[in-house]
Amino acid sequence: MQIVTTNDIPGYVVEEVFGEVFGLTVRSRNIGSNIGAGLKSLVGGELKGITKMLHDSRQEALARLGEEAIAKGANAVLAFRFQTNEYEGMGAEICAYGSAVRVRPA
């Protein structure tokens, strides 16, 4: 499965477009991360617990995007993007999205 941010893949031809696909996850922060983030905000610096949560969440959303594309018969996703939103002050919603397509070498 090729997943790219571009609208095409050099050396490949799009044979079929299956439409938009999504991978979504919503994650809450644990109490330790919230306390650590509150203390860290006093002195500044990276919020490592939250950074890890967002990294893991993006990986999960990306995997779900790939699964949905495969289920539609695609072998690639074009115009891939992430969107991240805060979820009611308790966590984060991460959405991976793009266009599912079948490509072949040119």
pLDDT at site 92: 84
pTM: 0.81
Q: What is the mean pLDDT of residues 72-76?
A: 98
- CATH classification at residue 44: 3.30.110.70
User: Residue for token digits 């074009």?
Assistant: 78
Distances (CA, A) of 4 to 1, 16, 94, 106: 10, 16, 18, 17
Q: What is the number of structural domains in the chain?
A: 1
Which residues is 46 bridged to in the sheet? none
* Domain extent for 15: 2-105
Distance CA 34, CA 84 (A): 18
pLDDT at site 47: 73
Cα 87 to the center of its chain, rounded Å: 16
